[in-house]
Chains A and B, each alone.
Chain A
Amino acid sequence: MGQGMALQFKHLHMNGIVKQFPGVLACDHVDFDVQAGEIHALLGENGAGKSTLMKILYGLYRHDEGEILLNDEPLNASSPTDTIARGVGMIHQHFMLVPSLTVVENIALGLREEPADASFISRLRSRSVLDLGRIRKKLVELSETYNLRVNPDSPIWQLSVGEQQRVEILRALYKGSELLILDEPTAVLTPQEVDDLFLILRQMADDGRGLIFISHKLHEVINLTHRITVLRDGCRVGSIATQDATKEILAEMMVGRPVVFQYDQDAAKRGPVRLSMQNVESVSDRGTPGLSGVSMEVHAGEIVGVAGVSGNGQKELAEVIAGLRVATAGSVTALDKDITNAEPAKIKSLGISYIPEERMVDGIIKDFSVAENYILRDCTTQHYAANGLFMRFNKIKDACEEAIRAYAIKTPHTSTKIKSLSGGNIQKLVLARELSSDPQIIIASQPTRGVDIGAIEYIHHRLLEERDNGKAILLISEDLDEVLLLADRILVIYEGQFVGEVDRDDVVIEEIGKMMAGSAQHEMA
């Protein structure tokens, strides 16, 4: 480190960690270790036990068995306060920052200055007075050392997501973290921001810190880390030096069977235009412009991907088409009918399905059963309700069971409350429901966010199948890899406008990355 301060951290060992939750063995005798100067990836699907293991390390959970040794000394933490004092820091996936406070103030939160001496007065002083000027000075030094550029006096709400993450890292460094846990830190970043972050992380490792990188993105893990440990169903599958790892090996370790990364897809057989938007404008929830003049077309038999960093109008785009958000200008046409600001029921009846981005809020009713959620959109049809009034429970149950089989949804009963299912299974049910009506147009918004690899593969295959059946699909995803994998045509959205369009065969990732960050296509030669 710049100040020449020697770091204490040598190594961390977690031996035979067991954590039992009611009905689930979250960690089953897991071994894990990190050396100084190492970036160690912890890889696994949702529910594999990565988060649980790290929460145990950070002191948020208490393990049932096993030991944690930090520099060969036991780390018997009962709360994060203890682990932070021992130099362990964690960057959470969802930032823990107060939006209205400045960067310095956020870092000062929870800090307590060391009393100058043991006298009552200096102890009282250290507890009651916080020297923001001194914190600011140290912060600026730190951010220069690691090239973590951020204005210390900006309130958090003015910062971009990437900058907010830098604040989180700075806070951990400020507290003297020498072992850093990063929980899916790239989920919210643009490709350029990811590159910046990786530079910073490598420098921190070179300084002798230990880094634990939790992720399920294989290429990132392969690019960044030195060593990879894979967890599955609470067990450690194995560790592997990154230089020996390939995507295929890692995915097989994660899922327990070979996984395909490149789908065999035929060239799109483009049919007539099914969905088009002309100069559509709308307002976001915050009252700012959500869409500012969006025009596009989706043809039958193609998947059009919308790439972009979160919050650039993707949500508004999908909701305007689905009739859930008012278009303040422009027009939306589907299947040759004007559907601008039509009622959701009417839009649906034309043959447009929508897989909503926030499935837990918009897609399902948490306290309803699996079957009730399955028929949510079709409950009044004669098939499910006699005379449109009395519900036919046998028919509903049969239809739902069929969908459960067809989509391999794991649920004990059709009467189980849907909120107790895993994210992947919930999404499969939403997909089953939305495809059950044989729609002509499918709007899929973040269809695989928070979903395990097995389900992702399945959902992708279903979407490609629908494409080959001549459906028009609009795929809106913040996961650029997913867009690249599935889309025949890619539109890049930035601040409510499409800034570029790229054909599947002409993709240059760097260019798309630049467009996602706001450079218009024509500006690039």
Chain B
Amino acid sequence: MQAQTRLSWGWLQRLADFFPVFIAVLLAVITSAILLIALEADPFTAFSEMLGGAFGTENAFAETLVKSVPIMFVAIGITIAFRGGVVNIGGEGQMIAGALLGAAVTLGLGESVGWLVIPLALIAAFIGGGLYGAIAGFLKAYFDVNEILSTIMLNQVAVQLMNYLLNGPMLDPESAGMNHIPKTARIAEIAELPRLVIGFGDNALFDRTRLHWGLIIAIVLAVISYILLWRTVIGFRIRAVGQNERASRYAGFRVKQQIVLSMFLSGGMAGLGGAVQVLGLQYRLQTDGSPAGFTGSAGFNGIVAALFGGLNPLGAVPASVLFGGLLVGAQKMQRELGVPAAMITAINGIIVIFVVSSQIFIQRRMQRRAKLEIAAVEKNKFEDTAQETG
């Protein structure tokens, strides 16, 4: 009886577990408001502009989603790496590696294989990003090279490699010799990811926006990644190694291979994110030569979104949308209020810090509940209920 009443209140308890997040958002908003007031901007206008800019109109929402798609791919990948105990900061580089290979396959195949070019390009991108990530995993597993340093450095390598390729071998033949921006030729029309429209006719949602099927691919991958991590032995091993290498080694897992594997999967996801930008949005691989010229920093924002999503692939989806909304909305706010551009980064940072910090309180709550349960069991209630039920 007692167990039943406790169960029926379970959902309320779960909800209360996320109370700290709401408090954190509130505190972040208040802190940001103080900054805005210091800049003599009206915080109420600012936040309503921000919200409206991100979610207010159909087009705004579509832009938010467009912005969040590459973040989502990276966040899913980062989640896998972090769960495997590897701090992958190389989302940028892995995106680029995936995009380069994906673009090369797309351009190379042209129209020769029809629509099959899309899956082939995506597979190539996954392998490209995955192998690029696996380099850092391999160095960590077999040579004890710190993965944070190696992935950051590999980001630089990838940017320069892309700059070289887009200015040379992969340069769009039409803009060769002209005062050009580094870019490839346009991909064949058949290789383009279709625009995503929900519904039919005049009332269809996202008609005439830039939103593409990359969003659906990301969501499907999030579900697959969730299943992989929590329903399969592969994920069990990855998570075990991430939590405790020594116990995993003793349990008979090949720890080094697991590290390389989680980095491969992680990089592969980021690589897909890069390719989807090419196939779904830009229809060519282009950059402005700066480090974030192609990625738009999605490789870094994905890390924050992964943490935001509680290192759960399913959580990464809404977290990425929120983060995309923050970026788009903050741009609108900045345009409308004329506050310095740095304000966007500041507000984003404040929200991220508060929300990520609130995780501690959530964990503490859960721990306290576990302790209470244990205490109840230690007081022999367990034996009583066991007798009753069994």
Measuring CB to CB, which residues of chain A are less than 8 angstroms from any residue of chain B? 22-24, 47, 322, 324, 343-345, 348-349, 354, 356, 361-368, 372, 376-377, 379-380, 385, 388-391, 405, 410-413, 416-417, 420-422
Contacts and interface: CB of A to CB of B under 8 A. Distances in A.
Nearest to B237: A379
A422 B378 contact: yes
Q: Which of A345, A376, A377, A422 has the most CB of B within 10 A?
A: A376
Contacts of A349: 252
Contacts of B282: none
Given A365-B247, A412-B382, A422-B378, A417 B370 contact: yes
Contact of B232 (A354, A361, A366, A390): A390
A348 B252 contact: yes
Given A344-B249, A349-B252, A367-B243, 16 more contacts: A23-B371, A47-B378, A343-B252, A362-B247, A362-B250, A363-B250, A364-B247, A365-B240, A365-B247, A368-B243, A385-B232, A385-B233, A389-B232, A391-B233, A412-B382, A421-B374
Given A23-B375, A368-B240, A376 B231 contact: no
A388 B234 CA distance: 9
24 contacts: A22-B368, A23-B371, A23-B375, A343-B252, A361-B247, A362-B246, A364-B244, A365-B244, A365-B247, A366-B243, A366-B244, A376-B251, A390-B233, A391-B232, A405-B386, A410-B378, A412-B374, A412-B376, A412-B377, A412-B382, A417-B370, A420-B370, A420-B373, A422-B378
B252 A345 contact: yes
B9 to A, nearest CB: 16
Nearest to B253: A345
Contact of B249 (A324, A364, A417): A324
Give the interface residue-count category, chain B. 20 to 34
B78 to A, nearest CB: 19
A22 B371 CA distance: 8
A410 B250 contact: no
A360 to B, nearest CB: 9
B248 interface: yes
A229 B240 CA distance: 44
Given A23-B375, A420-B370, A361 B233 contact: no
Interface of B: 231-234, 236-237, 239-240, 243-244, 246-254, 367-368, 370-378, 382, 386
B247 A391 contact: no
Contacts of B386: 405
Contacts of A363: 247, 250
B236 A391 contact: yes
A322 B370 contact: no
Contact of B233 (A367, A388, A412, A422): A388
A417 B370 CA distance: 8
A317 to B, nearest CB: 15
Nearest to A361: B246
B373 A416 contact: yes
B367 A379 contact: no
A410 to B, nearest CB: 5
Nearest to A410: B377
Nearest to A359: B247
Nearest to A367: B243
A385 B234 CA distance: 11
B244 A379 contact: no
A33 B261 CA distance: 61
A41 B59 CA distance: 76
A367 B252 CA distance: 19
Contacts of A372: 236
A22 B234 CA distance: 38
Nearest to B374: A420
B173 to A, nearest CB: 47
Contacts of A367: 243
A377 B234 CA distance: 14
A356 B250 contact: yes
B250 to A, nearest CB: 5
Contacts of A389: 232-234
A404 to B, nearest CB: 9
B244 A361 contact: yes
Contacts of B373: 412-413, 416, 420
A214 to B, nearest CB: 21
Contacts of B231: 390-391
Which are the 5 A-B pairs with shortest beta-carbon distances? Answer: A345-B252, A23-B375, A23-B372, A412-B373, A420-B370
B296 to A, nearest CB: 34
Nearest to A343: B252
B155 to A, nearest CB: 30
B374 A377 contact: no
Contact of B377 (A366, A377, A405, A411): A411
A364 B368 CA distance: 21
B250 A416 contact: no
A366 B246 CA distance: 12
A238 B378 CA distance: 22
A368 B368 CA distance: 17
Nearest to A380: B233
A322 B373 CA distance: 35
A97 B34 CA distance: 48
A267 to B, nearest CB: 34
A422 B240 CA distance: 21
A362 B250 CA distance: 7
Contacts of B239: 368
A220 B250 CA distance: 36
Contacts of A376: 240, 247, 251
Contacts of B375: 23-24
